[in-house]
Amino acid sequence: MAMTRTIRLVIESRAECIELLSGAVSGLCGLTALPADEIARIELAVVEAVNNAVEHAYHSEPGHMVVVEFRLMPDAFSLLVRDRGDPMDPDKLTASAEAVKLDRADPETWALRGRGLSIIKSCMDSVEYEVGDGENTLTMRRRLGGSRPD
Amino acid sequence: MVVTHRTVDGIDLIALSGRLMMADVPQVRQRLLEVVEKGGGRLVLDLAEVGFMDSSGLSVLVSVFKAARLKGGDVVLLRPNPTVRSLIELTRLQQIFSIFDEEAQALARWR
């Protein structure tokens, strides 16, 4: 069985700390053969997931932990974002599959928010959300090598 | 994040520099909305020096767009790097923002 190597990164639930995770994940992805533009997309997916944990699970309240686990395998890696705040409605992950239509002439379509999950899904091969034992886990997977389906 | 502001023929040119993430959003949003409030609502946002932006950064762009349109103005984007441009296209925001590669082209939007 191929060896999985794992590292856990922990930040406090403060927006100012998210950049630290962002930089660390970018560096970890640099261990793979992914090109820079793909690494930037993975960094973006992690930032969106951690933003959601800080803003929605913990309601921007500092003093809680957000854990990011990076599991590197020879042909893939996983990124798990864990929090112990309020869980997300799992249906949101399905609903975000459809991109929002924007119209310059229609102010009703100029949504300020609600793009994070669709960004995450478009940047990763698979995304799952699990709630259990007071912990919420968003698991994002990405294959290494070969081309990604559109 | 550094925000630089200058005016050319009544058009506000704002250059952002750095990473636009959730921690920077309140300060940057407030600064840009002040420019819209005091000016004519015609804004060019120069993103050339923005190395990274997330969806909270996009929410700032949309906030400013809304405020500018309420004044009868508009917001155009200048020189986003490939990463930021990719995010804008992924979220279809190019449907409301015109994107230019040259400052003169962006300014010509109002001439």
* CATH number, domain with residue A58: 3.30.565.10
Question: What one-character-per-residue DSSP string does chain A give?
Answer: ----EEEEEEEES-GGGHHHHHHHHHHHHTTSS--HHHHHHHHHHHHHHHHHIIIIISTT-SS-EEEEEEEE-SSEEEEEEEE-SSPPPTHHHHHTTSPPP--TT-GGG--SS--HHHHHHHHSSEEEEEEETTEEEEEEEEE-SSPPP-
Helix (H, G, I), strand (E, B) or coil at B72: coil
Contact B59 A55 (CB under 8 A): no
For residue A34, the number of C-alpha atoms closer than 13 Å in the C-beta half-sphere is: 27
Residue A47 tokens read as: 């930032």
> Who among A37, A40, A99 is closest to B92 (CB)?
A99
Write the pLDDT tens digit of every residue in A44-72. 999 999 999 999 999 999 999 999 999 99
Q: For residue A97, what pLDDT band results from cuts at 50, 70 and 90?
A: low
Range of the domain at B29: 2-108
The B-side interface with A (CB below 8 A) comprises: 19, 21-23, 25, 52, 54-56, 58-59, 62-63, 65-66, 69, 82-83, 86-87, 90-93, 95-96
Sequence-separated (6 or more) residues with CB below 8 Å from residue A37: B82, B83, B86
- Its ipTM equals 0.92
State residue B30's pLDDT score.
97
State residue A96's pLDDT score.
59
In this prediction, residues B13-28 reach a mean pLDDT of: 97
* Residue A71 maps to a domain: yes
Q: Number of folded domains in chain A?
A: 1
* Residue A9 maps to a domain: yes
CA-based nearest distance B22→chain A, Å: 6
Range of the domain at A66: 5-143
Q: Number of folded domains in chain B?
A: 1
Q: Measure the CA–CA gap between B42 and B109, rounded to whole angstroms.
A: 10
State residue A108's pLDDT score.
80
